[in-house]
Amino acid sequence: MPQKTKRTPMMEQYFSIKEQYPDCLLFYRLGDFYELFYDDALEAARLLEITLTSRNKNAEDPIPMCGVPHHSAKEYIRTLIEYGKKVAICEQLEDPKFTKGMVKRDVVQVLTPGTYTEYSQQHANNYLVALKPLAQDSYALGYVDVATGELKGTCVQSMEEVRSECSSLKTRELVKVGDFSSEALEEMCLYFDILPSTLATEDIQKGSFDALLEDIEQEDVYEVLEGLLSYLAKTQKKSFTHLQKASYYERDFYLFMNYEAKRNLELTSTIRTQQKQGSLYWFLDETQTAMGARLLKQWIEKPLVLQTDIEERHDLVESLTQHYFERIDFIEALKGVYDLERIVGKVSFGTANARDLLQLKQTLAKVPVFRAIADSLNHPKWQKLKQQLHAIPELYERIERAIDEDAPVSLSDGNIIKKGYHEKLDLYRETMAHGKEWIAQLQQTEREATGIKSLKISYNKVFGYYIEVTKANLSQLDDSRYERKQTLSNAERFITPELKEKEALILEAEEKSSLLEYELFVAVREEVKTYTEQLQELAKAVATIDVLQSFSTVSEAYQLTRPTISLMDRSLEIIDGRHPVVEKVMGRSSYVPNSIQMSPEDHILLITGPNMSGKSTYMRQLALCVILSQIGCFVPATSAKIPIFTKIFTRIGAADDLISGQSTFMVEMMETNTALRQADPTSLLLFDEIGRGTATYDGMALAHAIIGYIHEHLTAKVLFSTHYHELTALSDTYEDLKNVHVGAIEKDGEVVFLHKIMEGPADKSYGIHVAKLAGLPSSLLNHAENILTILETNSQANISLQEDAPVEKAEVEIVETSATVEVPRVESEQLDLFTSNLDQEVLEEIKSVRVMNLTPLQALQFIDQWQTRLKG
Ligand code: ADP
Ligand code: MG
């Protein structure tokens, strides 16, 4: 930092504060502005698009500076937080009017992406995550939503699980407890756009949060949560009353899906647009409240695995489906519910205003309605929920008596408290009202006494009440009664002793009444605090009802059925299942339902069929049915028997993973590796077109070997789709492999997809037909047909993978071998397309032509010539 100019005392102060917050943009309060200096100024000016100026403009080394007005700082701060920055708010701690020398200043709060409650979107949680490394690759992980007070912790066994957690929590900030470094973690933060923050070991406030962490027995989890709460205390510089008692959870409590699986299955957003529209969340979201929407998302991210828990939700949904009117009543009641979780949070921060308390009151008013509906549903499970629906009538009463329905947002201008709530306040108000009446009367009598019709009594902040007489009328005034106060160009202002006396009374009453109103309001707000736990429980119960009604509403609208859960018997039987999202988009009548049946012994379902016929849709359909069932919803099928799965892995092709800089094929192999290594007997694996990203034989060999491996090592349920129809012969060798295919028929040389899954293998690839559908030039298509014929003849029969094919690139152990048959040696996928029967001459020409020397027209002509010759 520049040292040349002697620092002023103010800059000394600035530096001493900035030093403590090196990773923040320091908003340094100077009068009505927050000022930023040096690098902070450069960065903020750029991000906020505000003017960069400088302090000591004429000095040799002017200080870069920019500022934002104090009253509109909120928006600027929000923008910076959205950019993933941290902002330290440094306030003046003394009133400059009464201070000699430097005003004391200090940071009162640090706003960060993970803690800034104003940032949170209504329908999403904003989690701050903390991580503490344990032995090997395991970690203790804790998270908190500052707005709602949710606080949880767990242990995870690998960086992959950290990724999975962080992605489902939509983490924006991650606190490294104990300030460690990890390359893998940094990569993850970069990938998910998470701001890494650190908490030094000495900043951990040991033992300060024992009450909140009472239920945490696991020591590591205790420590990571202690770190998380210390970070919160360090940045927010106040204590919160709304933080919920920390609870411990384990990955095994939920169906595990890694980040890739959740993304591939488009649970909460689509791969292509990253939007809700088109996701499972979009399909399911008929919630009426923000709390419900947030809970729904949490349920989708964490499907259950315990049969009783799952069936409890199914029971509740079923009862709502059977009781239409009760469901409609719930929906109506939910419409009058406000965001309780957030209101309780605001009460804890001390930022709740009168409107928030009114919303709380209106919400409480609905509770008896919810309770009555729960009663009329007459089901033990509803009784359980009802016990959490606390109406808290005394709190309702209190707000009802105290807070005026028309209270303003501001807490300093009065009109918050109702008449009759507090005697003294009523007295002040009377004095004010009487005083004003009295002044109006005085104006009247003064006018009559002086005969000046334009005489008026007014008020301003500097002089208080005064009598104003225009210059023209001055002569009519009896000077002895009036004391001159102020001279204007065309009028004089006066006061009289009696006006002064009344003024003192009125002003005192006004000032005291607003102060008293504020105090009374804060007292009510403090009282709300004492109900925090009950209100949070109520909020959770209402949110649960909202999600359940949403499930029920969707189940009715899309004719979903209650699944039967088979725990011990791992057979799977979904009759006429549908992909919920695809069906919703294309309409019920266009979607062809498909069944899936796998006996306990069936492990691998090999799905063949042409491109675009519906293989991927079919596989996702199963995964989504499993997830729907395990979050407690019904499933799109006419009947469904589904075992409980504990993990889902996917390998579903998508675009290159540009952010992480890996090729599609590399990603494909990494996902495959994860799935094969981590799958257990209760896992579901989806392999969609494995090996497509590499050369044909290479890919086919890999696909074959993967199936062999699954057969040998796993008993999980595996869906394996492939366009290599040669693989279907494997059912002869592997008794746990079953072939199905997506039907297509050829009509007048055109292929028609039936989107219907049928028993047995597909007999043809139909690739060229799909190319035709896509409208490729007919000469090209003819050419392809020719090549295909040649290839098929050359290899005498279909290339069978039963044979030990001499595959160039991949050294794969091929499991079964019998006789050896000549298979054409191929170097790469494209090669044979050209070399088999093409005119060598043309090839040479293409090789030797100097592309850069050609005009586009010449190039076209060349191509035309070659084409004619080749067709020749
Ligand atoms: P594949 O994986 O075999 O190439 P997809 O599963 O991607 O095929 O399906 C291609 C398209 O076919 C989908 O986008 C969808 O429009 C349609 N489709 C798939 N399955 C069905 C079905 N069961 N009913 C109607 N249309 C379907
Ligand atoms: Mg596909």
Indicate the Cα dihedral angle 689, 695, 698, 702, nearest 10°.
-20
Q: Is the CB of 592 under 6 A from ligand 1?
A: yes
| Dist. CA 591 → ligand 1 center (Å) | 9
For residue 657, what pLDDT band results from cuts at 50, 70 and 90?
very low
Higher pLDDT, 450 or 89: 89
- pLDDT at residue 810, as a whole number: 35
- pLDDT at residue 663, as a whole number: 61
Q: Is 54 annotated as a binding residue?
A: no
Task: Quote the percentage of the chain above a pLDDT of 90.
Answer: 54
Average pLDDT of the residues in 781-789: 78
Q: Is the pLDDT of residue 834 over 70?
A: no
For residue 845, what pLDDT band results from cuts at 50, 70 and 90?
confident
Q: How many beta carbons lie within 10 A of that of residue 244, not counting itself?
A: 20
Which numbered ligand comes closest to the C-alpha of 687?
A: 2
Q: Is the CB of 580 under 6 A from ligand 1?
A: no
Which numbered ligand comes closest to the C-alpha of 653?
A: 2
Q: Is the CB of 591 under 6 A from ligand 1?
A: yes
pLDDT by residue (tens digit) across 461-473? 788 889 999 988 8
- Residues with Cβ within 8 Å of 40's Cβ and at least 6 positions away in sequence, in order, are 18, 25, 26
- What three-state secondary structure class fits 596? strand
CATH assignment of 564-776, given 3.40.640.10, 3.40.50.300, 1.20.1640.10, 3.40.50.620?
3.40.50.300
For residue 766, what pLDDT band results from cuts at 50, 70 and 90?
low
Which numbered ligand comes closest to the C-alpha of 617?
A: 1
Helices vs. strands in the chain: H and E counts, helices first: 27, 27
pLDDT by residue (tens digit) across 184-229? 999 999 999 999 999 999 999 999 999 999 999 999 999 999 999 9
Average pLDDT of the residues in 446-466: 88
| Dist. CA 594 → ligand 1 center (Å) | 11
Q: Is the pLDDT of residue 827 over 50?
A: no
- pLDDT at residue 349, as a whole number: 86
Task: Quote the percentage of the chain above a pLDDT of 70.
Answer: 90
Q: Among the residues of 156-248, which ranges form H helices? A: 159-168, 183-192, 219-236
Q: Is the CB of 755 under 6 A from ligand 1?
A: yes
Q: Is the CB of 612 under 6 A from ligand 1?
A: yes
For residue 815, what pLDDT band results from cuts at 50, 70 and 90?
very low
For residue 849, what pLDDT band results from cuts at 50, 70 and 90?
confident
Q: Is the CB of 616 under 6 A from ligand 1?
A: yes
pLDDT by residue (tens digit) across 347-364? 998 889 999 999 999 999
Are 676 and 669 in contact, with CB atoms under 8 Å apart?
no
Q: Is the pLDDT of residue 830 over 60?
A: no
Q: Is the pLDDT of residue 656 over 70?
A: no
- pLDDT at residue 392, as a whole number: 96
Q: Is the CB of 617 under 6 A from ligand 1?
A: yes
Domain covering 9-111 in this structure, CATH number: 3.40.1170.10
The protein residue whose alpha carbon is closest to atom 25 in ligand 1 is 591
- pLDDT at residue 368, as a whole number: 97
- Residues with Cβ within 8 Å of 617's Cβ and at least 6 positions away in sequence, in order, are 579, 582, 755
Q: Which of 688, 755, 770 to mutate to test the pocket of ligand 1 (most atoms within 8 A of CB)?
A: 755
Domain residue extents for the chain: 9-111, 127-249, 423-519, 564-776, 839-871
| Dist. CA 649 → ligand 1 center (Å) | 21
- pLDDT at residue 693, as a whole number: 65
Q: Is the pLDDT of residue 291 over 90?
A: yes
pLDDT by residue (tens digit) across 296-331? 999 999 999 999 999 999 999 999 999 999 999 999
- Using CB atoms within 10 A of its CB, is residue 196 exposed (0-12), middle (13-18) or buried (19+)? middle
| Dist. CA 188 → ligand 2 center (Å) | 28
Using DSSP bridges, classify how beta strands 151-156 and 247-248 pair: parallel, antiparallel or unpaired: parallel
* CA distance readout (Å), 553 to 307, 379, 558, 578: 23, 19, 9, 18
Q: Is 489 annotated as a binding residue?
A: no
Q: Give the predicted TM-score (pTM) of the model.
A: 0.80
For residue 794, what pLDDT band results from cuts at 50, 70 and 90?
low
Average pLDDT of the residues in 738-746: 83
Residues forming a β-bridge with 151: 144
Ligand 1 atom nearest 610 alpha carbon: 3
Q: Return d(Cα 435, Cα 787) in angstroms, integer.
A: 102
- pLDDT at residue 825, as a whole number: 38
The protein residue whose alpha carbon is closest to atom 23 in ligand 1 is 592
Average pLDDT of the residues in 369-377: 96
| Dist. CA 575 → ligand 2 center (Å) | 22
Domains 127-249 and 423-519 share a fold: no
pLDDT by residue (tens digit) across 699-722? 888 888 899 999 988 889 999 998
- pLDDT at residue 808, as a whole number: 37
Q: Is the pLDDT of residue 519 over 70?
A: yes
- pLDDT at residue 4, as a whole number: 54
Q: Is 613 annotated as a binding residue?
A: yes
Q: Is 614 annotated as a binding residue?
A: yes
Ligand 1 atom nearest 609 alpha carbon: 3
Domain at 423-519: CATH architecture: Orthogonal Bundle (1.10)
Q: How many beta carbons lie within 10 A of that of residue 572, not counting itself?
A: 23
Place of tokens 């006066």: 494
- pLDDT at residue 695, as a whole number: 67
Domain covering 127-249 in this structure, CATH number: 3.30.420.110
Higher pLDDT, 689 or 517: 517
**Half-sphere exposure (CA, 13 Å, Cβ side) for 829?**
10
For residue 785, what pLDDT band results from cuts at 50, 70 and 90?
confident
Average pLDDT over the chain reads: 86
pLDDT by residue (tens digit) across 588-631? 999 999 999 999 888 999 998 877 888 999 999 999 999 999 99
C-alpha angle with apex 537: 534 to 538, nearest 5 degrees?
85
For residue 150, what pLDDT band results from cuts at 50, 70 and 90?
very high
Higher pLDDT, 36 or 786: 36
- pLDDT at residue 511, as a whole number: 87
**DSSP string computed for 410-478:** -SSSS--BPTTS-HHHHHHHHHHHHHHHHHHHHHHHHHHHH--TT-EEEEETTTEEEEEEEGGGGGGS-
Amino acid at 865: Q
The protein residue whose alpha carbon is closest to atom 17 in ligand 1 is 614
| Dist. CA 802 → ligand 1 center (Å) | 30
Higher pLDDT, 446 or 868: 446
The pair of structure tokens assigned to 45 is: 């000016």
**DSSP string computed for 115-141:** T-GGG--TTS--EEEEEEE-STT-EEE
